[in-house]
Amino acid sequence: MPALTDITNKIRESAKKLLASGQAEVVIGYRQGTIPMTTSPFFARTADECDLLVWSNFARINLANYLPGRAGKVAMVAKGCDARSAIGQVTENQILKDNLYIIGVPCTGMIDTNLVVAKEARPIREVVETADDSITVKGQGFSTDIKKDEVLRRNCKTCVNRTPKLANELVGQEVNGAAADDFADIKALLAKTPAERMGYFKDLIKDCLRCYACRNACPLCYCPVCFVDETRPQWLGKSTDPMDTMTFHLLRGLHCAGRCTSCGACETACPVNIKVREFNRVMELTVQNNWNYEPGLSWDQKPPLTMFQTDDAADFIK
């Protein structure tokens, strides 16, 4: 049986059991999207609804986004990164650990549809996901096999925590992590001149509409009032001034520092394909270098901005 089908079956089986036993009042998972290469979040409350749950190469949304503030017992289907987000939310009091059941899926990476389209520009009507290491996209008069490796999202290529080890249960075989993000591109960027770097980042966000889709997709962005909507004082001008856009991305980067699990939901959500995670990655690199911290790897981690060491290094402070 293809791995994806096997996982789908196990998710359904587990979901039914959880609902039946009362261990969960709702199971948050994915169901097939209405257009090819998409899935949508789905809240299963009955056994019948459980049969709509699927696993796919396109389960890119981070379902931890639906946890904050949720009362009652809830189960979620989670990739490695999603589970880490959920664990982070437990540490940040967004959901009680006892109310949360993580159906962990050892993940082999999600597919970036833009990369698929780059390989097969013709309109795609259907995707076949029966093979483990490739997909087949079909359209009018064509059927193209595409190697999964070649179209993985960039965050999935450097994911070391593919198996959600802290999940309540694992559906599927543990998978090995990929090579860690070595931040080579960021480091190369830092070697350039300030003007070149400024140019790079300004160019990066030049198309930003400030639709805030990235924020909405992000499981870290659960604030009741986001700083972008603040009026007294107004943190962010409502104008189209690029500095306001830049401010948004910088502050979002700061807010995600030490919390981002590189799930890529923001980049997936961006309608104009901005690599918004670039800001987060600068912060992740800083957090790792300075405080050797990666979020969501244990239940009792203290996020780096809630604590300090008296001998924290900060040589730039004179």
Partner 1 sequence: MQAALDLANAGYYVYMVEKSLAIGGRMSQLDKTFPTNDCSMCIISPKLVEVGRHINIELLTLTDILSITGSEGNFTVNVRKNPRYIDMSKCIACGECTKKCPRKVDNAYNENLDKRKAIYVQYAQAVPLKYGIDASECMYLTKKKCGSCKKVCPADAINYDDKPEDASFKVGSVVLAPGFAPFKPSEFETYRYDTKDVITALEFERYLGATGPTMGEVVRPSDGAHPHKMAFLQCVGSRDINRADNGYCSSVCCMYAIKEALIAKEHSGGKLDVTIFYMDIRTFGKDFERYYEKAKAAGIKFVRSRVHTVKPEPPAGVKIGYVSDGGVSAEEFFDLAVLSHGLVITPETKEMSANLGIQTDGYNFARTSTFSPVALSRPGFYACGVYTGPKDIPTSVMEASAAAAAATSKLTPARSTLTKVINIPAPVDVTGEPPRVGVFVCRCGINIASVIDVEKVVEFAKTLPFVEYAAVTMFACSQDSQEKIVSLIKEFRLNRIVVSACSPRTHEPLFQETLAAAGLNKYLYEMANIRNHDSWVHANNPAEATRKAMDMTEMAVAKAALLVPLKENVIDVDPTALVIGGGVAGLNAAMSLSSQGFKSVVVEKDDKIGGQANRILSTVKGENVAKYIEGLKAKIADDPNISLALQAEVDSVEGYVGNFETTLSNGDKVKHGVTIIATGAKEYKPTEYLYGQNPQVVTQLELDELLKANDPKAIDSNTFVFIQCVGSREPGRMYCSKVCCAHTVHAAVELKKLKPEARIFVLYRDIRTYAQKEDLYKEARGLGVIFVRYSIDDKPKVTESGGKLAVQILDPVSGRKLLINPDLVVLAAAIVSGRENELAMKYKVPLDEDGWFFEAHQKLRPVDFATDGMFLAGLAHYPKPMDEVIAQAQAAAARAVTVLTQPKMTVGGIVAEINQTKCSGCGVCVSVCPFSAISLDEKGKSVVNEAMCKGCGNCASSCRSDAPSLRGFTNAGLFAQIASAL
Partner 2 sequence: MSDFEPRIVAFFCNWCTYGAADLAGVSRLDYPPNFRVVRLPCTGRLNPKFIMEAFKRGADGVWVSGCHPGDCHYIAGNYHARRKFVLMHQLLESIGVEPDRLRFSWISSAEANKFQAMARDVVEHVKACGPNTTFRKEDLKLGLAEVA
User: Binding partner of residue 94 among partner 2, partner 1, none, CB under 5 to 8 Å per kind?
Assistant: partner 1
Interacting span for partner 1 (CB under 8 A) from 44-52, 79-87, 144-152, 220-228:
220-228
Question: By rule CB under 8 A, what string of x and - marks binding of each residue 251-280 to partner 2?
Answer: x-xx--x---------------------x-
Determine if 223 is a binding residue for partner 2 (CB under 8 A). Answer: no
Determine if 64 is a binding residue for partner 1 (CB under 8 A). Answer: no
Q: State which residue, 212 or 235, has the beta carbon closest to partner 2.
A: 235
Minimum separation from the CB atom of position 290 to partner 2 (A): 6
Angle, vertex CA 160, rays to CA 155 and CA 161, nearest 5:
100
Minimum separation from the CB atom of position 310 to partner 1 (A): 10
User: Binding partner of residue 222 among partner 1, partner 2, none, CB under 5 to 8 Å per kind?
Assistant: partner 1
Q: What is the DSSP string of 180-216?
A: PP--HHHHHHHTS-HHHHHHHHHHHTTT-----HHHH
Cα–Cα dist 296/12, whole Å: 26
Determine if 304 is a binding residue for partner 2 (CB under 8 A). Answer: yes
Determine if 305 is a binding residue for partner 1 (CB under 8 A). Answer: yes
- For residue 80, give both structure tokens: 């490695």
- For residue 179, give both structure tokens: 């090579």
Determine if 224 is a binding residue for partner 1 (CB under 8 A). Answer: yes
- For residue 71, give both structure tokens: 């009362």
Determine if 239 is a binding residue for partner 1 (CB under 8 A). Answer: no
* Burial class (CB within 10 angstroms; exposed 0-12, middle 13-18, buried 19+) of 257: buried
User: Binding partner of residue 145 among partner 2, partner 1, none, CB under 5 to 8 Å per kind?
Assistant: none
Cα–Cα dist 309/30, whole Å: 41
User: Binding partner of residue 282 among partner 1, partner 2, none, CB under 5 to 8 Å per kind?
Assistant: partner 2
Q: State which residue, 29 or 296, has the beta carbon closest to partner 1.
A: 296
Identify the CA nearest to 163 among candidates 150, 178, 175: 175
Handedness of CA 8, 14, 18, 24 (dihedral sign): negative
* Residue 296 DSSP symbol: T
Q: Which of 126, 196, 207, 229 binds partner 2 (CB under 8 A)?
A: 196
Determine if 93 is a binding residue for partner 1 (CB under 8 A). Answer: yes
Alpha helices in the chain (DSSP H): 3-21, 47-50, 80-91, 113-119, 154-157, 184-190, 194-204, 213-217, 242-256, 265-269, 277-291
Interacting span for partner 2 (CB under 8 A) from 5-13, 206-214, 266-274, 306-314:
306-314
Q: Which residues bind partner 2 (CB under 8 A)?
A: 186, 189-190, 193-202, 227, 232-235, 237, 239, 241-244, 246-247, 250-251, 253-254, 257, 279, 282-283, 286-287, 290-291, 304-305, 308, 310, 312, 314, 316-318
